[in-house]
Every structure is written in C-alpha cells, then in structure tokens.
Amino acid sequence: MTVYLRVSLMRYTVRRPSLIRLAQRILMAVGEGKSELSLELIGDARIRRLNREYRKQDRITDVLAFPMREGIVPRGRCPQTSMLGDVVISLPTAIRQAQKAGRSIDVELAALLVHGVLHLCGYDHERGPGEAARMSRREQNVLYMISPVPQVVVCSHQRQRKVS
C-alpha cells in the first residue's frame, strides 16, 4: 500500500514517515490494505477554494475527500484502480478544532484522516441520520484500532517551547 503525501505548509513540521505509517494503518483497519491513497495537508485559503469549486460551499472546511473509484465493485472482481482517492486536510483548521476540543493535533488529524478515508470507501454522513450514526460508529472503531496515535505534527510554538 502506497501513501502519497504532500505538505503545502511551511509553518508546521510534519513527521512524514509517521504520518504515512498512520495512513497505512488506517487503510489496513478499513480493509483497504492494498489500496493507494493521496494525502495532502494544506491551508485554509486553499481548502476554501476547493470546497467552493467542488462542493459549491464557499467556506473553510476541515477535510475533503475525492474518491477515484465509482460505484461498488462486484464481488470477486478487482477494482479498476488501486488508487482509493485523495484526502485533503486543512492543518490550521485541524489545529483550531483540536484546541477547542482539548485534544492533541495528532488525534484530531487521525480523526480527520479516518473520516476522509471512510468517505472514499462510500460512507456519507450527509445522506441522513442513520448513515451519519453508522459512519460515526465506524470512525470510533477505526480510531480504537489504530491507537495509540503517534506524534505527526509539531507546531512552530511547540518547537520554540522545547528550545527555551
């Protein structure tokens, strides 16, 4: 399983190997261990543009998922591509959400990555309350399966604190 990682931010130190291994553990946990994933960490302005362009919602969001596979693959047949899709996460939004919820950025980032991967697997909380509950249960299950979450992001203020 290959994870293609792109980080488009300079203010944060991302432990790329740790984040790639985390993404691989998530893929294994959801039964997509042979799939490929594209993951990108971006800023608020860019995710707002993507959200406006692809979802017609002119606002910042935390995570977007762009599946590469269409429909359900019949049992016994291989998918047309091993690429599951793209998950794009706004790191500044993830940091704000983590601070507001009182949890680490790493746990928040893992939760957003799980959420995005589940969207790529066909889960959609916007279909209704039943599907939202189903997706939420699956997210919690996957987060439990991948625990503990390693440190993958070091914010600039954390680096400065360690130096002083």
Report pTM. 0.88
Which run of H or E residues covers position 89?
A: strand 83-90
Calculate the average pLDDT of the chain: 89
pLDDT, tens only, 68-89: 976 555 555 555 678 999 999 9
pLDDT, tens only, 2-11: 999 999 888 8
Instruction: Specify whether the CB–CB gap between 35 and 84 falls below 8 A.
Output: yes
Give the pLDDT band (50/70/90) at residue 160: very low
158 part of a folded domain: no
The CATH number of whichever domain residue 28 belongs to comes to: 3.40.390.30
Q: Please give the residue range of the domain that contains residue 14.
A: 3-69+80-150
164 part of a folded domain: no
45 part of a folded domain: yes
Distance, in Å, from the CA atom of 164 to the CA atom of 70, rounded to the nearest integer, reads: 51
